[in-house]
Structure 1
Amino acid sequence: MTGSQQTRVDMHVKILNDEVVSRAKRRGIDVLVYAPHFTRLPEIRRTAANYTDDDLLVVPARELFTGDWNNRRHLLAVGLSEPVADFITFEAAMAECDRQGAAVVVPHPSFMNVSLTWPEIRAHAARIDAIETYNAKLFPHQNRRGQRIAADLDIPGVGSSYAHLPSTVGEAWTLFETDSDSEDALVEALKTAAPRRVQHRSGIGHRARSGLEFSHLLYENTWEKVDRLLLSGDEPTHPRNLVYEGRFDDVSVY
């Protein structure tokens, strides 16, 4: 740990393996929040537990895709106890987070067509626990926009690497002035607006790794991936997947 009353948390990574864990430890990260795309919560929990040890806590989370593919709004939910499907309505996703007592973080605010806009964040500010104010994948002007939104609405910020590539892990983090040494403690820190600082690395290497992460968007948003995710209705987090036993049929957008 970084100190008896501090916890350095990379608030959002997409990948988890031995290389990621090793890099996180070298970068002084105490906690990784692991939220891979289109993966059910039980699998995320199992993987997180397998990579947690005395030096690094991996907290399972879900980046929920709400709305349809062209107008999706992402929510990072930390502390879910039950699975929640993707591609359900925004209100349904928020209701599930409320019911389960999960902390709600807005990742990459006002970014492209995948994020909550400033007016949407304002409308739901009372139900939002934090806004991502530094994302290592984004350009400086995009991060400044998130910082302005958080300041305007008086919502605490968080920082993350948003790593889809191992080299980006630990490029940005949130330094909580508390011991967030468990999933419950991190959820509590988020929901109670615990004191924190958003920090990140700098220099040419940081900018280069950020550029590589941004270029990864080209892969993420291909129509081939859309087809694979949405056409069959049998993907892991599709709302009509049999594993959800019809819970989300009434709020599914597909």
Structure 2
Amino acid sequence: MGSAEVSSAETEAEVRDEAAEFAVRHAELARGYGGNGDPDDPAMVQAMQMVLHIPKTHPPARSALLEAAAAAAVAVCLDPRSGPGGEWEPRYLAWKRSRIRKVARRARGSQWVAAGGVDGVTIDVDGAQARAFVPGPVGAIDQRIRKLQIGGTDLEHDEPGPPDPRLPVLWVNAALEMSVGKAAAQVGHASMLLAGALPVTAAAAWAEHEFRCAVRDADDQRWAGLVAEVAAGRAVAVRDAGFTEVAPGSMTVIAVPARA
């Protein structure tokens, strides 16, 4: 066997190994969440922190920022470091097997730069940036993240136009009038649910594109049609626990797989 043939065989073996490892991570995500409930110690409650980059001047478009947040959240879950033997695995599983929580904060300037030094994944969508961090206890949040403001800043709703049919669409329930931080957490839930519900080959293909998705607001009429899609098993829905902003059990986001 020549050197070129050996190299090709090694490459094929590496691709198969990567696919098998991704399948294991996907299977864990697809199993669902929350089986262990919350710990007795409030400081040990598990949460995924997220930071939205919202500069004071020239803030990003709301929809693009939410798209970045959704992609970052699922990227952490399916990152090799969250898989078996990975450095993030214990923290990721402790969170995933508890009650799922996400907390979105905002940062600008040096705060945003400092946040980049904390374990996580940053996604950029058309200049809008969000970073999702490896989950952990709320009592042990890195100080670079803990000091960041959770509320107080919102972004105007924009109209980005029809979504690309090659992308999954995360439809936000406009009637709930969620803040950008709340919506970021909810689309993060939605991207996780969708990735777990997809066949592993489709999820792997989505990962190749950094989990790029479209986020759009759904009015009452569109929302009614989307609820029917959920009932038919063609879409997945996020139902909020009601800790902040919305009533318990509210359906906040519906994720629809790519059409093309």
Which of the five TM-score ranges fits, normalised by the shorter chain? under 0.3
Give the TM-score normalised by structure 2: 0.26
Structure holding more helix per residue = 2
Greater relative contact order (Cα < 8 A, sep 6+): 2
